[in-house]
Amino acid sequence: MPERLPHHPPIRSPDGRAPPSVGILDVAFHRASLVTPHGETKAARDRLRARLKVVRSSATVVRHLRLESRPLVRPGLTEFERALVDARYGAGALDRHLLRLRRAEERIRGLARDAERESHRAEGPDELGEMIRRFYGRLSSFVREIDVDIEALRTIARFLSDRPHLEPAAPTLVVAGFPNVGKSSLVARLSSARPRVADYPFTTLSIAVGHADLGFDRLQVVDTPGVLGRPNRANPAEVEATTTVRGAASVVLFVLDPSGRSEHSLEEQESLLARWKEEFPNLPILAVETKSDLVRTASDRPKVSAVTGEGIDDLWKEVRTLVRPRGELPPLEESVVAPEEPEEEPPAPRPAAGRRRAAPRRRAALAESSRRVRKSRRSS
C-alpha cells in the first residue's frame, strides 16, 4: 500500500512545528515592511510604498514556492526516483502536489496584478492601507491552502535524500532475496558499500549502493530490503526492493540461504525466484546460494560464503559476463574505422645552394667591420 500523505492542513505538526505557510508569510511581510520609496510628495511616496509592498511580498512567496518544488521537478529526478516516489506515496501524487503549487503561483501573480491596478485608483492613505490589508489577507489564504502540498513535497524530498542516487546510464547489479539470507554481507564483499549487517530479519529498511570497478565502467551494486514474496501484503521496504529490481537493475543477483537460519525454507525462496523470472523475462537473474561454509546443496547454482570468501571470485567473473558494461572496448575490426590517409603534399622547394653559402660570408664581413670599428676607437 502506498504511504498516505496528510490531507488536512495541520495547525501544528506532530513535533510542534508551525505549518510552512507561517514561515513563508513571515519572511514575505517582513521584506515588504522594509521598502523605502522615494517621491516628491507624500501622496506619491504612499502610493509607491503600497505598490512595492505588493510586489515584494508576492515575489517573496513565489520564490519560496519555487524553492520548495525545485528539487522535485523534471529533469531533476530520474525515472527510477519517480518510480520510488510513486511506489511509496501513490502514482501521480508528486505531480498533483507540484500542480497545486504552480496554480497557487499563478493565483498569487494575478492577485498582485489586481492589487497594483487598484493602487492607481486608490485615493489617500486610508484607501491604500485598506487595499494592502485585503491583499495580505488573500495572499495568506492562498498560501495556507497549499500547506498540505508543501509538507508533502518536503516529505518526498526527505525520502529521496535518504536514498542513494543511481546513475541511469551505469550498469547496476541489484542484490535481492528474502530477509536475513546474507544479502548485505555479499554486497560488502562485492563492492565498496558497507551496509549494516545483523543476525535478524529486515536489518536493511531501504536501498543502499556501493561500487565496483569494471575497467572502463563502474558497476553500481545495490543492497535491497528483504522481500517475503507477498505482493498483496508487502510492507514499504518490500515495495522499495521490488521497485528497485523492476526499475534499476541491469542484472539481479538473487540470494538464497539453504541453511535455514533465515527462518524461511528454500522452497519459499525458490518460489519467489520462479515468480520473478516469469515477471521479468528480459532481466538476467543469477541465483546464488550463500553460507556455503555452513551447508552445501547438490544444486548447480554458484555457492559462496561472505565469511570465508569462498566462491566470490568465480561469482564476480559470472557477474561481469552478465553485466556486459558498455564501457568495454569492442573488437577493433568492428568498431574502429581506419582514418583516411591524407594525400601526400609535394615537398617544399629547397633553397638555392648559393643562398645557403652566402650566410657565412655575411657573418664574416660583419665581424670584420666590427673589429675595424673597435680598433679605430682604441687608436683615437
Tell me the DSSP string of 333-369.
Answer: HHHPPPPPPPPPPPPPPPPPHHHHHHHHHHHHHHHHH
Query: Do residue 157 and residue 176 come from a single domain?
Result: no
Please answer whether residues 118 and 83 qualify as being in contact, where contact means their C-beta atoms are separated by less than 8 angstroms. no
Specify if 358 maps to a domain. no
Measure the CA angle with vertex 210, ends 207 and 214; round to 5°: 135
Query: Do residue 176 and residue 314 come from a single domain?
Result: yes
Total structural domains within the chain:
2
Q: Which residue has the higher pLDDT, 98 or 262?
A: 98
Examine the pLDDT at 197 and tell me if it is beyond 80. no
pLDDT of residue 76: 78
Q: What is the pLDDT of residues 322-372, one digit of tens each?
A: 886 444 444 444 444 444 555 555 555 555 544 444 456 666 666 777 777
> Which of 307, 323, 339 is the last residue in one of the domains?
323
Query: Do residue 146 and residue 181 come from a single domain?
Result: no
Specify if 10 maps to a domain. no
pLDDT of residue 149: 96
Query: Do residue 234 and residue 187 come from a single domain?
Result: yes
pLDDT of residue 378: 64
CATH for 123: 1.20.120.1190
Please give the average per-residue pLDDT across 83-97, as a whole number: 94
Specify if 11 maps to a domain. no
Query: Do residue 31 and residue 142 come from a single domain?
Result: yes
Please answer whether residues 272 and 179 qualify as being in contact, where contact means their C-beta atoms are separated by less than 8 angstroms. no
Specify if 366 maps to a domain. no
Q: Residue 21: CA atoms inside 13 Å, Cβ hemisphere, count?
A: 20
Query: Do residue 248 and residue 283 come from a single domain?
Result: yes
Q: What is the pLDDT of residues 116-141, one digit of tens each?
A: 999 888 888 899 999 999 999 999 99
Among the listed residues 217, 166, 169, the one whose alpha carbon sits nearest the alpha carbon of residue 193:
166
Please give the average per-residue pLDDT across 190-199, as a whole number: 65
Bridge partner list, 172: 220
Examine the pLDDT at 203 and tell me if it is beyond 60. no
Which amino acid is located at 233 in the chain?
A: R
Please answer whether residues 110 and 139 qualify as being in contact, where contact means their C-beta atoms are separated by less than 8 angstroms. no
Query: Do residue 145 and residue 189 come from a single domain?
Result: no
Specify if 305 maps to a domain. yes
Which amino acid is located at 348 in the chain?
A: A
Among the listed residues 183, 300, 200, the one whose alpha carbon sits nearest the alpha carbon of residue 244:
183
Q: Which of 160-169, 253-262, 355-364 has the lowest mean pLDDT?
A: 355-364
Examine the pLDDT at 20 and tell me if it is beyond 90. yes
* Alpha-helix runs per DSSP H in 249-311: 266-279
Q: What is the pLDDT of residues 292-329, one digit of tens each?
A: 888 888 889 999 998 888 999 999 989 888 886 444 44
**Rounded CA separation 88/236 (Å):** 7
Averaged pLDDT score across all residues of the chain: 82
Count of beta carbons in the 10 Å neighbourhood of residue 331:
7
Query: Do residue 180 and residue 317 come from a single domain?
Result: yes
**Rounded CA separation 371/79 (Å):** 85
Specify if 112 maps to a domain. yes
Residues in the chain, overall count: 380
Q: Which residue has the cell 546510464?
A: 169
Q: Which residue has the higher pLDDT, 6 or 39?
A: 39
**Rounded CA separation 229/278 (Å):** 14
Query: Do residue 180 and residue 306 come from a single domain?
Result: yes
Q: Which of 134-138, 186-190, 271-275, 371-375 has the lowest mean pLDDT?
A: 371-375
Find the farthest-apart pair of alpha carbons in the chain and give their distance in angstroms, rounded. 118
pTM over 0.85: no
Please answer whether residues 29 and 136 qualify as being in contact, where contact means their C-beta atoms are separated by less than 8 angstroms. yes
Count of beta carbons in the 10 Å neighbourhood of residue 250:
18
Question: What is the domain extent for residue 317?
Answer: 172-323
Please answer whether residues 302 and 289 qualify as being in contact, where contact means their C-beta atoms are separated by less than 8 angstroms. yes
What does each C-alpha distance from 44 to 41, 49, 50, 63 come to in angstroms? 5, 8, 10, 28
Bridge partner list, 195: none
Please answer whether residues 231 and 251 qualify as being in contact, where contact means their C-beta atoms are separated by less than 8 angstroms. no
pLDDT of residue 147: 96
Query: Do residue 155 and residue 218 come from a single domain?
Result: no
Specify if 78 maps to a domain. yes
Specify if 234 maps to a domain. yes
Q: In terms of C-beta density within 10 A (0-12 exposed, 13-18 middle, 19 or more buried), how is residue 82 classed? A: middle
Query: Do residue 261 and residue 316 come from a single domain?
Result: yes
> Which of 111, 134, 161 is the last residue in one of the domains?
161
CATH for 193: 3.40.50.300
> Which of 308, 323, 338 is the last residue in one of the domains?
323
Bridge partner list, 303: 289
Query: Do residue 191 and residue 304 come from a single domain?
Result: yes
**pLDDT tier for residue 12 given thresholds of 50, 70 and 90:** low
Q: Which of 197-206, 220-229, 256-265 has the lowest mean pLDDT?
A: 197-206
**Rounded CA separation 6/146 (Å):** 12
